[in-house]
Structure 1
Amino acid sequence: MKFDLHTHHFRCGHADGNIRDYIEAGITAGLSVIGISDHTPYFGRSEDRPFPKITMGKREFAGYVEEVLKLKQEYEGKIDVLLGIESDFFPEHAEVYRKTLNQYPFDYVIGSVHSVGKVSIFNKNRWKSLKESERIATKEAYYELIRESARSGMFQILGHIDAMKGNYPAFSDIPTAKAIDDTLQTIADNGVVIEINTSGKTKLSGGWYPSDAILERALHFGVDVTFGSDAHTPERVGDEWDLVLTRLKEIGFTEWVYFKNKQKISVPL
């Protein structure tokens, strides 16, 4: 049974295609389940859309939910369309995000850390001229935010938990094994799932998020996993699903999961 829980569309301002395009691509890719999970609006400011190329506007949000729910009914029997969302995690704004998201019938919410110290995790210039101790501190701050997101109770899934390597591949070599282990233990303790996200191939790092080394530690700590292409074009829906399945078996996983009505559903590998 094939599924993909992480897809975007035009509303976020940096993806191509409409929701129907992604559903049709899912059918073509042989998916039984597709999750639509565009970026939430930025709820930390009063403007409708302070970041037009990053998130949808607040005024678009209800329409997004309504469209997914209508398409869920239309495609019933052909493919199971799930209402998801990818939410940034900002500790200072967590309660307004929680209150807003709880107003809608999401099947799942993906929580993703996209900035550390108010700088995008994908900004490779942040690493210039940093001492080793400063690189370690930055990476540890990233994982502390991920731990906070796991403890928040807001999310079923945590998105791309080593994506800070995306445009700075040397990130993976910064020595913070304890921080990663502590993060995986926290994720396990709070019953949150991590995704294998195949969009890393679109960045300088290539490959998937997270690394095989982190997936091996995730198995050790009993962390459940799911799949998300993080498609920003319909052509990437389900991208490398079969390769991920094979690699998870090699690592030692026996199942992965998806969510419906925020209930975890296990699928044997």
Structure 2
Amino acid sequence: MRADCHAHTTYSDGAEMGAMLDAADRAGLDAVGLTDHCIVVDDDFGRRERYDLVETYEERREEIHRYRDRIDVDVLDAAEVSYVADAEAETRRFLDSADFAYTIGSVHFAGEYDYTSGSQYAAASDEERRAAVERYYDAVVSAVDAGLFDVLGHLDLPERVPQLRGHSARRDYERVAAALAESDTLPEINAGRLHDSLGRVHPDPAMIECFRAEGVPFVVGSDSHAPAELRERVPALRAFLDDADVSVVDVDAVVSG
């Protein structure tokens, strides 16, 4: 089983990376992908200022090499890349140069909308919230069609935002499923909100049903940002997969080298 985690490594000693990889080893994983956030271009919401993997991925790669011989888990040098519709060319150039083992593409913001916080929607009407959600799924389909990424992450991110929850429609899910069915990109079952108010993995079960109807398989990710999250989420993901009627592909299907 593979589980993604965001190590946010401190390159001075690699201590944070080491703690994450030790947790992966103890969880009995076959492989772990280090998928720190990577934002290629500046954005209106300040995320590019907070995540610097574009500049530091080579330093992180050196740390990964130092740790690979210390544990039995296959450590993959990967990234979670924010999809920006008008920056596809820049994103492709960077990814071609960085040559990660695999990439997860995620929509965190689109146009004037930020989907990582609910504050923007606190005073919004239902119509305005629906417009924001529809714009999100437009961007997700565009991310699939762009063919930039191996994996599509955070498939129904608005459902994780209380102010936007319930504004996704089945037709949104069906659009994403249809796009994935025609693509080599694989969707991710993600445990990033397993222990908060949602209390489950995502995407939403109704979205999983649409993907299953299209014959679309999944990969699995923990979205862990700390060792404790990895330790909690891996058993929960295993329990989910034991009960769920989903097709999960092996890590080799997404690793490019």
Tell me the TM-score normalised to structure 1 length.
0.82
1:164 equivalent in alignment to 2:158: yes
Q: Who is 2:75 aligned against?
A: 81
Other-structure match for 2:131? 137
Matched, 1:26 2:24: yes
* CA deviation map 1:247-267 (0-9, x unaligned): 345442244332467359xxx
Pair 1:55-2:48 in alignment = no
User: Residue type of the partner of 1:165?
Assistant: E
Paired AA for residue 79 in structure 1: V
Matched, 1:253 2:246: yes
Gaps spanning 5+ residues in structure 2: where? none
Amino acid at match of 1:113: V
Tell me by how many angstroms 1:11 deviates.
4.5
Partner of 1:44: 41
Superposition pairs for residues 110-129 of structure 1, below 5 Å?
Answer: 110-129=104-123
Q: Secondary structure at the match of 2:219?
A: strand
Number of equivalenced pairs: 252
SS at match of 2:154: coil
Q: CA deviation at 1:190?
A: 0.5
Match of 1:267 in 2: none
Moved more, 113-122 or 90-99: 113-122
CA distance in 2, matches of 1:114, 1:214: 18
Residue 81 of structure 1 aligns to a residue whose secondary structure is strand
Q: In 1, are the aligned partners of 2:177 and 2:211 still within 8 Å (CA)?
A: yes
Q: Partners of 2:103 and 2:88 in 1: how far apart? A: 13
Sequence identity of aligned pairs in percent? 21
Q: Contact conserved, 1:17 with 1:233, CA < 8 A, in 2?
A: no
RMSD: 2.7
Letter in 2 for 1:232: H
**Per-residue Cα deviation, 1:217-253 (whole angstroms, up to 9, x for no partner):** 2111111111111111012225433443443454422
1:45/1:127 CA distance change after superposition, 3 Å: closer
Q: Is contact 1:106–1:261 with CA below 8 Å preserved after alignment?
A: no
Deviations 1:96-138 (A, max 9, x none): 1111111133221000111133442122122233232222221
**Cα contact 1:228–1:238 (8 A) shared by 2:** no
- Residues 137-186 of structure 1, C-alpha deviation per residue, up to 9 Å, x if partnerless? 21111011111111111111111211222231x63422521121011110
- C-alpha distance in 2 between matches for 1:177 and 1:261: 27
Q: Alpha-carbon deviations, 1:193-219, whole Å to 9, x = none? A: 111111113554342221222112211
Counterpart AA for 1:258: V
Tell me, in whole angstroms, the C-alpha distance in 1 between the residues paired with 2:253 and 2:77.
Answer: 9
Partner of 2:101: 107
1:10 to 8, 11, 16: 8
Are residues 238 and 82 of structure 1, via their aligned partners in 2, closer, same or farther at CA, if it must alter by over 3 Å? farther
Amino acid at match of 2:127: S
Q: 1:108·1:259 contact (CA, 8 Å) conserved in 2?
A: no
With over 3 angstroms needed to count, the CA separation of the structure-2 counterparts of 1:186 and 1:37, relative to structure 1, is same
Q: Does 1:221 align with 2:214?
A: yes
Using the TM superposition, name which of 184-193 and 17-26 deviates more. 17-26
